[in-house]
Amino acid sequence: MIKRRASNVEIKKINRNRIFRYLNKYGRVSKPDISSELGISMPTVLQNINELMKQGLVDEVGEFQSTGGRKAIAIAPVRNLHYALGIDITQNHIGVVLTDLSGDVLKHKRVYKPFINNREYYKEMANIALEFKNSEVGPNKEFLGVGISIPGIVDTRKNKILFSHALNLTNIETDIFTEFIPYPCILVNDANASGFAEMYHYDKCFNAVYLSLSNSVGGAIIVDAQSYLSESSITDKLYLGDNLRGGEFGHMTLIPNGSECYCGKRGCVDVYCSAKTLSKHTDGKLETFFEEIENGNNEFKQILNQYLSYLAIEINNLRMIFDCTIILGGYVGSHIEPYISRLKEEVAMLNTFEIDASYIKPCRYRVEASALGAALQHIEAFLCTV
């Protein structure tokens, strides 16, 4: 492919964007640091910092300790002027998360609200979200929009939810979800949103598979996530497949002719690796299951061992296909850390090429990863415009 050379205007824009993203990532830095880290000349750095200061996006925040010469001025991003909200819709709950340019969960809330596909539900959902937003975001702040995470296949180009088993929806216009929200809205698949949230703060991790181990098993395939110099959106960094079903790891066959899956087939990964496999022993409460193990319940330890053996097969299969970092998320991913070395040993024994499985990572966000990932769609879209 022949690449066109970028024009001066484009180069200027790319430099400003790189400088702001660098600042936004590292917080408090000096101008010479920016220049040497990004390989951009000092005059260009100074010019861009001045422009960003005029826009209110960066500020001078004191001086660094002198290392001999003149003290360098510390520059920092102004992250708390731009906000976005994420909503996570599940069968029985609505989760809400607020974030700003830091990309962190600033505040979150979860309410019991069983999903019903009617206008009253969508109105109530909007009320919950807008009340939360109004109580946290002052009128002098910039509100970028609302991201909505859905447990289903979302076609963002056609504005449709093609299918959601959890919400019992087929071929639904996304507009009905957003009718009562007077801000820009983006709908995303929940596992894709969670996977994106996980990748957002990773350094030097370009490709990843996010394996969501909640009441159903799903996932996301993230490609080239840190190549943030292009103006592509988050969804452009996900491999979605030809039919938007890429990452449906829950319905890979783990055991031929095994137990029946909710999808109607037999032996799916979902049957053996969903959180329900464990929580069904403790009335649906996964916390209780892991508490019992900590209290020395041997029967539950064996159940967990069996679970980890199945999970190891799935992880090894994913590693063979994708050859990248594998992040374990969802309900089980939030509890997996104490058992992860045992899991890694099992995976390593299955692997043809590798003797350790350090590529397996527990998820960073234990609550509201998908709502955060949905909100981050707006943050990322804004960062692309700087």
Q: Which positions lie near Zn ion, rule CB under 5 A?
A: 251, 261, 263, 265, 268
Nearer to Zn ion, 263 or 384 (CB): 263
Residues 178, 164: contact at Cβ < 8 Å? no
Residues 6+ apart with CB under 8 A from 258: 266, 267, 268, 271, 272
Order the strands of the 142-150 sheet from edge to edge.
107-112, 93-100, 82-89, 142-150, 185-189
Nearer to Zn ion, 257 or 298 (CB): 257
Q: How far is the CB of 117 from Zn ion (least distance, A)?
A: 23
Nearer to Zn ion, 128 or 263 (CB): 263
Task: Taking each helix axis as running N to C, give the angle between helix 190-200 and helix 369-385, from 0 to 180 degrees, rounded to the nearest 10.
Answer: 60
Q: How far is the CB of 261 from Zn ion (least distance, A)?
A: 3
Nearer to Zn ion, 208 or 254 (CB): 254
Nearer to Zn ion, 77 or 250 (CB): 250
Q: How far is the CB of 218 from Zn ion (least distance, A)?
A: 11
Q: How far is the CB of 356 from Zn ion (least distance, A)?
A: 31
Q: How far is the CB of 313 from Zn ion (least distance, A)?
A: 16
Distance CA 49, CA 29 (A): 12
Residues 139, 156: contact at Cβ < 8 Å? no
Residues 6+ apart with CB under 8 A from 103: 200, 201, 372, 376, 379
Nearer to Zn ion, 162 or 223 (CB): 162
Q: How far is the CB of 360 from Zn ion (least distance, A)?
A: 23
Nearer to Zn ion, 213 or 268 (CB): 268
Q: How far is the CB of 165 from Zn ion (least distance, A)?
A: 10
Nearer to Zn ion, 268 or 386 (CB): 268
Residues 374, 87: contact at Cβ < 8 Å? yes
Please list, residue by residue across 272-306, b when 16 or more beta carbons sit within 10 angstroms of its beta carbon and e when fewer do.
bbbbbbbbebbeeebeebbebbeeebeebeebbee
Q: CB pairs under 8 A, 24+ apart, for 336-341? A: 336/213, 336/362, 337/362, 339/304, 339/308
Q: List, in sequence order, every residue forming a beta bridge with 150; answer none if it has no partner.
A: 189
Nearer to Zn ion, 113 or 165 (CB): 165
Q: How far is the CB of 251 from Zn ion (least distance, A)?
A: 4
Residues 6+ apart with CB under 8 A from 43: none
Q: How far is the CB of 154 from Zn ion (least distance, A)?
A: 20
Nearer to Zn ion, 178 or 274 (CB): 274
Q: How far is the CB of 265 from Zn ion (least distance, A)?
A: 5
